[in-house]
Structure 1
């Protein structure tokens, strides 16, 4: 139980800093409500679970190879630029105020979460966090510690997502369409900034090999 609680706190501490997933969750939560914001978070957690499984089955070394990570900086930047463009262009579209019927598909916001989560930063995090746990599992031939750590971190991320979206849902009740529109525009600008950061990291990685 102590190990589980420790990694729940790790998951919370990782999820707290504002990142691309948090921006997209907040934007969708304000425009379309709790469940659409949560769909983004679940999309991100789907990538997290797939990465955990990849690490568990011994693919950590492959995922940590520079020539595997390099293309992902570009892919991640492309996805973020696409979401940023959509967020700014359609800032006044698909806005559902509290109490109104939501028409937007949950699958689309879930897909956005998947797109945002595809980044080398996410890969590096999982490799670094679980590296020590994996090494210990190989020595002791026990996978229980790894599984508990994974569940703990995912629980922490889930608690953050639910807490954030509860706050967003309350805030949404006092916001009008114009306020939500500008929130979407600001969110798009932040996503564009994260995309530029990905391109910068790609540039630095390329320079390291020249």
Structure 2
């Protein structure tokens, strides 16, 4: 139980910094409500679970190879630019005010969560930060320690997502259509900024091997 609570706090603390998933989750939560925002979070956690399993079976060694990491930066940048363009272009579409019926498919927002999670930033995070955090539990004699630590971190991330979306849901009730539209535009520029950062990392990685 102590190990679980320890890694729950770790998961909560590493989820607090604003990242790509947080931006997309907040945008969808404001435009279409709690469950659409959460669908983005669940999409991200789906990738997180798969990465935990993959790390357990040694994927970190593959993803740590430079010729595997470098292309991921440019691929991630393209995905983020696409999401940014969509967020800005369709800022005034698919907006459902509090109390109105939501028509947008939950699967589409879940898919967005998958897309932003399959990015080099997220992969590098799991390899470096999460992999290092779990290294000690993985090396212990108790084979279940790694799984307990992984579940603890995922629980922390889940608590962060639910808390964030609860605040977003309350805020949404006081916002009109124009305010939500501009929130979507701002989110688009933030996603564009993350995409530019990925391009910079791609360029920096290339320079190391020239």
TM (norm. structure 2) is 0.96
Structure-2 residue corresponding to 1:190: 190
Q: Which string of whole-angstrom CA distances, capped at 9 and with x for unpartnered residues, describes residues 146-168 of structure 1?
A: 00110000000000000000000
| Aligned residues between the structures | 209
Kindly report structure 1 stretches of 4+ aligned residues shifted beyond 4 Å: none
Distance, in Å, in 1 between the alignment partners of 2:138 and 2:101 is: 49
Q: Which runs of 5+ in 2 are unaligned?
A: none
Whether the 8 Å contact between 1:11 and 1:157 is mirrored in structure 2 is: yes
Structure-1 residue corresponding to 2:200: 200
Distance, in Å, in 1 between the alignment partners of 2:208 and 2:48 is: 28
Structure-2 residue corresponding to 1:169: 169
Q: Which runs of 5+ in 1 are unaligned?
A: none
TM-align CA RMSD:
1.3
Q: CA deviation at 1:58?
A: 1.6
Structure-2 residue corresponding to 1:156: 156
Distance, in Å, in 1 between the alignment partners of 2:39 and 2:112 is: 9
Structure-2 residue corresponding to 1:133: 134
Structure-1 residue corresponding to 2:4: 4
Q: CA deviation at 1:136?
A: 5.4
Whether the 8 Å contact between 1:72 and 1:118 is mirrored in structure 2 is: no
Structure-1 residue corresponding to 2:123: 123
- The worse-fitting range, judged by mean Cα deviation, of 54-63 and 147-156 is 54-63
Q: Which string of whole-angstrom CA distances, capped at 9 and with x for unpartnered residues, describes residues 34-58 of structure 1?
A: 0000000011111111110111112
Structure-2 residue corresponding to 1:18: 18
